[in-house]
Amino acid sequence: MLIASKTSFSQVISVGELLPKQTLDSLQLLDGSYIPSSEFENKYVIFEFWSTWCSTCVKNMPKIQDIKGEFADSLTLFLVNNQKEELVRGFWNSNAVTQSLKMSTIVGNSKLKEHFPYKGVPYVVWVGPDLTVKHLTNGRYLTKENVQLFLKGQPLQLSK
């Protein structure tokens, strides 16, 4: 007897591989809204993974917001947190840095974590407009200079 199972297994995605469109369709912000797929059309995408216990992550959020604003025409940049939504919400609403931000964070999405099983934060995933993963880096490489290189299709400066 053959029994079929509908279990799906997420795959680890490496540089040069495509990010599945269905992963992008499931991205939810802290306010409960879902990110429309139009946010990703013909744009470069950067995901920065962070955690509430990471002081470096939080300290860099205003810089990340500035980068997002400066390159808004060609780049979509998202913060991503994989901790429990209630924990993130409490932190987000009580932290002076996050309260001042005009951007939000993706929460409650296990697919991104399964695709990119990082060992430390901040961790950055750089995705081209064709949804191909271009770079996987530490957060210190998320700079205006590297974003400019990324948008030109050039290698990032990784030796600082």
Q: Residue 52 half-sphere exposure, CB side, CA atoms within 13 Å? A: 16
Q: Are 27 and 35 in contact (CB under 8 A)?
A: yes
Distance CA 147, CA 139 (A): 12
Taking only the tens place, the pLDDT of each residue in 18-30 is: 999 889 988 999 9
Domain boundaries, the chain: 17-152
Q: Answer positive or negative: Cα dihedral of 22, 121, 102, 87.
A: positive
Label residues 57-71 b or e (16+ Cβ within 10 Å = b): bbebbeebbebbeeb
Distance CA 13, CA 4 (A): 26
Place 4 in a pLDDT band, splitting at 50, 70 and 90. Answer: very low
Tell me if residue 85 falls in helix, strand or coil: helix
Taking only the tens place, the pLDDT of each residue in 65-121 is: 999 999 999 999 999 999 999 999 999 999 999 999 999 999 988 899 999 999 999
Task: Decide if domain 17-152 falls under CATH 3.40.50.150.
Answer: no
